[in-house]
Chain A
């Protein structure tokens, strides 16, 4: 009994519902879309490529929700970071400078979010709701909403359009972030501190954990990773646009929650979040291939998210009894 449980805990994949839903959706699309190329290797890699940005932000999302926080700035941070990167590339053509500036911007947004939450005691929802607008506004303002093309091909190759064999660099970046994220979240004290902070802030504090510091770090991770997602957006589209990442904050929360995290904090799984992000990618891909209009896609997408989360809640409640 005990050894079996220990084994299951060895590789932390979180709540298994998301994998079941993923398999069901996959089989369903494989059958009804078999004539439209859903199952082709190219299409499946395409799904992973398209979801890469949301996947990367979801790594941070696991930390944020795990600590009992929420971060709505991720989408606009990605957009602003993409704008900064493309402007700096245009001016200096220095990839290193551009990437550093982009990530630094994300870190700054994370620090501001963290300070608003820990020092001014604003609820994370409100603090990041405000910051989301501020950052998106800045991204629009900086070029008066004009797109900034990126002509540096090396940059585009490294961060967006390149391939190694048949695999897009976007997918490789995703894999890197998931490996690092998994280790930090599930294999270091920091990951446990994050979950303890979200699970019971007072108990964590009574255990000698600096919960405010943990919250700061979590927002900084989120800012940095969304900035990196912005770098990927810019590389993939070979331009900076203020509209990048619009609505990504919701996709990230959905992916992380589908992956077994609770909105109330204290739980979460990195691999689960990846499965959640891929699940949503497959759904939108399948709906496009099925020839649905974007209005219909949105509608069904929302319904499936509700269904999946409801299902996993039901399973959880059953297990508790």
Chain B
């Protein structure tokens, strides 16, 4: 791929990016969020079309305008969210859309035989008649790979393939990748897990703000070098958020204390405490257990061991209603799925957790009071909308997220937990959200904060705990962290 340019509106996402892939090579592609990795790969697989630039396969220029073009050129993608039909069997999935027929009827025998052939070649031990939903996550991914290979893919793109896998499943995957390499297949490997990249990749390309930083043989690279490549230099877009040192009483009694928290195989022995007015960040890779800690505190997951104390008193939270009563609020990771009722109005979403307190005589909804609260929310959080009765699904991501936050500010929690609150939010709204959270903490509330964007973590947190595979790996005061690189390094440490 040469001189690739792509803009969305006025934002230039890729600037003259170059990327090449050798035969039988595993080429890692890394960069922070918004560096352009996904966009580049979506161009390669025909999801987006490029503005300018050229793509060559085996030295021959090709045009990829739609996903089918990419498929025909032998480019396959292993999706983060698996793309198999859960209720169909393995062989039905592998031949979905390209069924072998005989006289107009499906030739099941032949499809089974061919499926078995592909699976055997890849060393996967699964019966072709297994229904996909019965397979483990790791096995499902293997089937996905088999599906791509059965379509004669010569180039495979892996996007964060190990995020949902266990250690042993990751090992299996690496075996498979090596095997595919021997069969002459080239692979692009996108991951935030540098140790995996150092183990499996042959070469690495680092992107930053839509530009090439470097392409290098992996044997010449170290963890430090990769991280400084991702972070180094000045930001091209200047969207850094400044850290503002906040003050709170560090010797005050704990607001929240968590001791030896254990949640089946996701969280192992996590302890931490939170002071009133403090913003505590959890830093870790995707799937490291950040979300699970918050969901457990909010009563959505069952804790298996450990204690949770609110203001020194032990509490047991068995469901979300209980959690709200005890003073927790959770701004969930997936705003559209878990945060909002998209078909309802701004007002109805913003008042949902506090309806029972917005009543006349404890029975009837007090519409006037509700209107007042929501109008205040809109003003305070600078929400841009036609009015409080606008359907929330029609707002932009940033404005939607502000309403999710408003909804929980209204419930006046002691501890607010935010899980990737700025995902899918434009840069202006991001800054505003960060300020809202700061202000909320300034009022003496505790905040737990998770974000994949380290810039944000660095801007907002007073203290950061690092987690790897559900285990505590370190704790740092923000003022002791010199650079984002230092934090990135800490996250990669197991």
Contacts and interface: CB of A to CB of B under 8 A. Distances in A.
Interface in A182-212: 183, 187-189, 191-193, 195-196, 199-200, 202-210
Contacts of A188: 359, 363-365
A207 B364 contact: no
Nearest to A201: B341
Chain B interface mostly helix, strand, loop or mixed?
mixed
Given A1-B386, A6-B389, A208-B321, A203 B356 contact: no
Interface in B352-410: 352-353, 355-356, 358-359, 363-365, 371, 386-389, 407
A192 B341 CA distance: 11
A183 B371 CA distance: 19
Nearest to A192: B355
B340 interface: yes
A54 to B, nearest CB: 27
A5 B386 CA distance: 10
Nearest to A191: B365
A2 interface: yes
Interface band, chain A: 20 to 34
Given A183-B364, A204-B352, A196 B321 contact: no
B332 A187 contact: no
Interface stretch (B148-156, B206-214, B342-350): B342-350
A156 B236 CA distance: 83
Given A2-B387, A189-B359, A200 B340 contact: yes
Interface in A1-15: 1-2, 5-6, 9
A76 interface: no
Chain B's interface size range is 35 or more
A303 B492 CA distance: 64
Interface in A232-274: 266-267
A189 B340 contact: no
Contacts of A200: 337, 340-343
A189 B351 CA distance: 10
A208 B365 contact: no
Contacts of B351: 192
Contact of A206 (B332, B343, B344, B388): B332
A208 B364 contact: no
A20 B363 CA distance: 34
A206 B339 contact: yes
B66 interface: no
Nearest to B339: A203
Contacts of B324: 207-208
Contacts of A189: 355-356, 358-359, 365
A200 B338 CA distance: 8
A5 B343 CA distance: 17
A189 B356 CA distance: 6
B320 interface: yes
B119 interface: no
A207 B353 contact: yes
B432 interface: no
Nearest to B359: A189
B341 A199 contact: yes
A207 B353 CA distance: 5
A2 B352 CA distance: 21
B319 interface: yes
A200 B298 CA distance: 18
Contacts of B340: 200, 203
B300 interface: yes
Contacts of A1: 386-387
Contact of A5 (B344, B352, B387): B387
A9 B365 contact: no
Question: Which of the listed residues B323, B337, B344, B386 has the most CB atoms from chain A within 10 Å of its own CB?
Answer: B344
A193 B355 CA distance: 9
B341 A187 contact: no
A208 B353 contact: yes
Given A1-B386, A189-B356, A210-B321, A199 B343 contact: yes
Nearest to A195: B344
Interface in A30-49: none
Contacts of B342: 199-200
Given A1-B386, A6-B389, A202 B364 contact: no
B458 interface: no
A144 B365 CA distance: 49
Nearest to A264: B343
B330 interface: yes
Nearest to A9: B389
Nearest to B295: A206
Contacts of A199: 341-344
A198 B365 CA distance: 19
24 contacts: A2-B388, A5-B387, A188-B359, A188-B363, A189-B356, A189-B365, A192-B351, A192-B352, A196-B341, A196-B344, A200-B337, A200-B342, A203-B337, A205-B320, A206-B300, A206-B320, A206-B330, A206-B338, A207-B320, A207-B324, A208-B320, A208-B325, A208-B353, A210-B321
Interface of A: 1-2, 5-6, 9, 183, 187-189, 191-193, 195-196, 199-200, 202-210, 266-267
Given A183-B364, A199-B341, A210-B321, 11 more contacts: A188-B363, A188-B364, A189-B355, A196-B341, A196-B348, A202-B337, A202-B338, A204-B352, A206-B338, A207-B320, A209-B352
Interface of B: 298, 300, 319-321, 323-325, 330, 332, 337-344, 348, 351-353, 355-356, 358-359, 363-365, 371, 386-389, 407
The 7 closest A-B pairs by CB, nearest first: A208-B324, A199-B341, A189-B355, A2-B387, A200-B341, A207-B352, A208-B321
